[in-house]
Amino acid sequence: MSDMPDFQKAIAVHTEISEEAQKKAGHATGTTMDDKHITFLADLIAMLDRKEMDASVPASLLKKENYDPLPQTAKDLIDVALLNLADQLKRIEAYFRSSQTPNASPQLQTMIEHFWDMKSRLEDKHGDVLKF
């Protein structure tokens, strides 16, 4: 056992985990999130509820007045990024609306941060082209 890497040593001591503990380990944990995450999430959900955006229609995430004047090469790059943004928005919305997951959790906070990262990369290159 001394030739094993540290990770393997660490998991080797945990060979007996009950089925109940395994099930619990796979569930999202409820906790509070930072105010900025809560506010952003509330704004996103409100926009979805008012039908200002639709996660299944990527173009609905755009501020058309800022997108339309851009050159076609920029629009093409934005269109590809929109697919990923819309997919992440679907995940955030599904997680939030699910009765099986808490509305505030580290998992949801991480999803929001990933969404922010994608938004930031897109808007750093192409300006304020998104509604949120």
Q: Are 54 and 48 in contact (CB under 8 A)?
A: yes
Alpha carbons 132 and 119: distance in angstroms, whole number? 9
Q: What is the pLDDT of residues 112-126, one digit of tens each?
A: 999 999 999 999 999
What's the whole-model pTM score? Answer: 0.75
Dihedral through CA 106, CA 108, CA 112, CA 118, nearest 10?
Answer: 100
Residue 15 in domain: no
Residue 121 in domain: yes
Q: What is the pLDDT of residues 24-43, one digit of tens each?
A: 555 555 567 889 999 999 99
Task: Show the domain range for 51.
Answer: 30-126
Tally of domains within the chain: 1
Residue 9 in domain: no
Tokens 């992440």, located at residue: 88
Residue 4 in domain: no
